[in-house]
Amino acid sequence: MRRAAAVLFLPLALTSLPALADPLPAKADQVVQYRIKVALDPAKVELAGTETLTWRNPSITDTVSELQFHLYLNAFKNTKSTFMSESGGQLRSLQMARDSFGWIDVTSMKTASGADLKPTFAFIQPDDRNVDDQTVAKVVLPEPVPPGGSVTLEITFTSKLPKVFARTGYRNDFFLVGQWFPKLGVYEPAGMRGREAGGWNCHQFHASSEFYADYGAYAVDITVPSSYVVGATGARTAERVNGNGTTTHTFEQADVHDFAWTADPDYVVVKAKFSATQDVTPAEYQRISRLLGRPLDEVKLSDVDITVLLQPEHRPQAQRHVDAAKAGLKWYGLWYGRYPYRTLTVVDPAPGGMGAGGMEYPTFITAGTAWMLNYWPFDRIRMVEEVTVHEFGHQYWYAMVGNNEFEEAWLDEGINTYSTSKAMVAAYGAEKTVIDFLGLSLGDQDMSRTSNDPAARYNRILANAWDYVPRSDYAFYSYYKASLVLQTLEGYLGEQTMARLMRTYQERWRFRHPRSEDFFALVNEITGQDWSWYFDQVVRGTDIVDYDVGLATSDPVLKARGVFDGPGGRASVSAADAMKADLEAAAKKAQTYRSVVVVRRNGGVRLPVEVAFKFEGKPVERQTWDGQDTFKKYVFERPERLEWAEVDPDRKVMLDVDWLNNGRRLTPDRRPATSWAARWYFLVQTLITSLGLL
């Protein structure tokens, strides 16, 4: 394990901060263009689609003769798919309906010049060689695509939707249509994300994680029965009544890497507008401008049309959805840069359709609530807000910064969990983000901490999403531990440096595909220090953080006894003399105290920590321990008695698995225990997990 080269604890001096300001990219490099026409047959729960797909070879050196596609609905085709064998048909505590399978058939695939690609069409299994998995296919092109060249394909396909499960499907006449069309993987030229040779990155559909695709423009015609309300990625650009009982809705969006849509005749359509001038005050713009060190016009936001598609029985929660969407647009926008799209659609899945809840797609998210939350006191549980803000946050961490979720899920889920906490605190208050009633409150930032178990020391954050054993550890490492890693980093860097770091990361990687090394390198660049000792331990490593105060004593120094040689000859002090002297000193309050404090490192992770000491009648003193050895002993001889000692007094090290052992008090403390609040943390976390959200 690498030792800390330089112990860095306090926030960096402002003057040492390079004023890094990258321009916020306005547009993505359009690698793909999808023109899709799709018709829904609600009776058969099938989609019939045609797709015109243009792909541009992004390499400047590679000639590419093969294309690779995601065909993710085939994850639900039978129990032998990789998704089904990994998940056992169970996801986020929900069970797949029996005999409700889904699939996608590519019925034809030709080049624009008419060459038939179907004879070369083959399913491949790059991740696990499960020959029964049909979620990735490749085709061989008759003419290779030169560097910078393009190819256009004409594809027809039929998709069968499963009953709502794992984010997609139907429930009665509610349809949430995600992962539904043949979608290209990412061709990564040599050098991209550390690749030695160019090649496709096209993972199979797994039980955990689902996204990695290239940016481009989508235009989709969705034909459904005219009674259906439709919502989708992007802006509605046309609506045509066909005269046969159906209506065609056209949605278009550029600079995105996926497209999803929904249809349900029962939706209540709630329209709202995020106003860049009314929903953010001039003082807030100024504060952010100072925090980020950017001119005011660089932090200005833009207006966004918000559509909430609500279930009728959740009507009383309409404003809560709108307010949460606005909170996301505002705080993510201020911190990480303007939301560049004109629309945001928030979908409230039908009752029984919770498998489609808590999901992110570009400009289109699904939340989820329950009628129970209409009523006091459950209306004070901020679940709607938490889920809406989190899924909105994926517009920044997943949609705009498009990391490879299969290989490095923490870059979207972890950064977004960290960001959700901050946005919830900014919008709803530090202590009351999750619960606020009967004088009881629960803060969002405590949620990640409650899941940080001392026994969680076998997996690591940086791992393929499908490699976690047990599979459930994926969530702890990718969401919660990763969030704690970032919160702890913020403890070390201070709010301002952290804010500038995250802003620059978004700017530099917006509409691109970073990997973990890019994030680590940016931390080094922004701080001017090498932080590999930190990330090696807490992102690549497995061990835990736990500091405690193992011993704290403070006793009077007693008068020495025995025979002493001095300038005036030999003298002896008897036990009785010594006791008398000690009693006199005590009566005059003239004793010296010897205070001993032992701070221990119980976990394998070595981080610098502050230790605070409080002596009677004196202000709190602090020292920094580098945390390298297994313990550090502090000894003081002073006229004052030690009252208490505490490691990490400001709770900067959010990764610490146990804060209850962080301090020892030598004088009695009669502050009431707050254990019942801890019980509430557990209850809310259980509730959110069991509803399958986030």
Residues 6+ apart with CB under 8 A from 466: 82, 86, 127, 128, 206, 207, 208, 209, 406
Residue closer to Zn ion (CB basis): 348 or 643 = 348
Residue closer to Zn ion (CB basis): 209 or 591 = 209
d(CA 415, CA 417): 6
**Is residue 377 reached through a cis peptide bond, with omega within 30 degrees of 0 on the bond before it?**
yes
**Least distance (Å) between residue 445 CB and Zn ion:** 17
Residues 6+ apart with CB under 8 A from 499: 291, 292, 335
State CA 616 to chain mean position distance: 44
> One-letter amino acid identity for 421?
S
Residue closer to Zn ion (CB basis): 206 or 664 = 206
**Least distance (Å) between residue 448 CB and Zn ion:** 13
**Least distance (Å) between residue 63 CB and Zn ion:** 38
**Least distance (Å) between residue 323 CB and Zn ion:** 20
**Least distance (Å) between residue 391 CB and Zn ion:** 7
Residues 6+ apart with CB under 8 A from 282: none
Segment contacting Zn ion by CB under 5 A, of 280-288, 337-345, 405-413, 463-471: 405-413
**Least distance (Å) between residue 471 CB and Zn ion:** 17
Residue closer to Zn ion (CB basis): 408 or 413 = 413
* Helix ranges, 2-140 (H): 82-87
Continuous segment of H or E residues that includes residue 504:
helix 495-509
Residue closer to Zn ion (CB basis): 127 or 413 = 413
Residue closer to Zn ion (CB basis): 272 or 486 = 486
**Least distance (Å) between residue 462 CB and Zn ion:** 18
Residues 6+ apart with CB under 8 A from 187: 31, 55, 57, 58, 59, 62, 64, 198, 199, 200, 201, 214
Query: Two tokens at 650?
Result: 């400001």
**Least distance (Å) between residue 8 CB and Zn ion:** 31
**Least distance (Å) between residue 516 CB and Zn ion:** 17
Place of tokens 């802006």: 235
Residue closer to Zn ion (CB basis): 101 or 418 = 418
Of 348, 345, 343, whose CA–CA distance to 317 is shortest?
Answer: 348
**Any idea what DSSP says for residue 678?**
H
Q: At what angle do helices 413-428 and 383-393 cross, to 10 degrees?
A: 130
Q: For 432-504, list the strands marked E by DSSP.
A: 435-437, 440-442
**Least distance (Å) between residue 394 CB and Zn ion:** 6
Query: Two tokens at 106?
Result: 């590519």
- Cβ pair 523, 489 in contact under 8 A: yes
d(CA 528, CA 650): 25
d(CA 564, CA 482): 61
**Least distance (Å) between residue 668 CB and Zn ion:** 45
Nearest residue to Zn ion, scored by beta-carbon proximity: 413
Residue closer to Zn ion (CB basis): 64 or 482 = 482
Task: State the number of CA atoms in the 13 A half-sphere of 234 facing the CB.
Answer: 23
Residue closer to Zn ion (CB basis): 151 or 482 = 482
Of 525, 449, 455, 521, whose CA–CA distance to 487 is shortest?
Answer: 449
**Least distance (Å) between residue 531 CB and Zn ion:** 25
**Least distance (Å) between residue 404 CB and Zn ion:** 15
Residue closer to Zn ion (CB basis): 413 or 446 = 413
Residue closer to Zn ion (CB basis): 361 or 613 = 361
**Least distance (Å) between residue 412 CB and Zn ion:** 7
**Least distance (Å) between residue 375 CB and Zn ion:** 28
Number of residues that bind Zn ion (CB under 5 A): 1
**3-class secondary structure per residue, 196-252:** CCCEEECCCCCCCCCCCCCCEEEEEEEEEECCCEEEECCEEEEEEECCCCEEEEEEE
Residue closer to Zn ion (CB basis): 484 or 607 = 484
- Cβ pair 432, 443 in contact under 8 A: yes
Whole-angstrom CA distances from 245 to 385, 417, 686 are: 37, 44, 45
d(CA 577, CA 658): 47
| Contacts of Zn ion in 406-445 (CB under 5 A) | 413
Query: Two tokens at 246?
Result: 């159906």
- Cβ pair 253, 341 in contact under 8 A: yes
Of 251, 254, 246, whose CA–CA distance to 48 is shortest?
Answer: 246
**Least distance (Å) between residue 611 CB and Zn ion:** 36
Residue closer to Zn ion (CB basis): 486 or 611 = 486
Q: For 513-671, list the strands marked E by DSSP.
A: 547-556, 562-566, 569-573, 593-601, 609-615, 621-625, 631-638, 642-647, 663-665
> One-letter amino acid identity for 267?
Y
List interacting residues with Zn ion (CB under 5 A).
Answer: 413
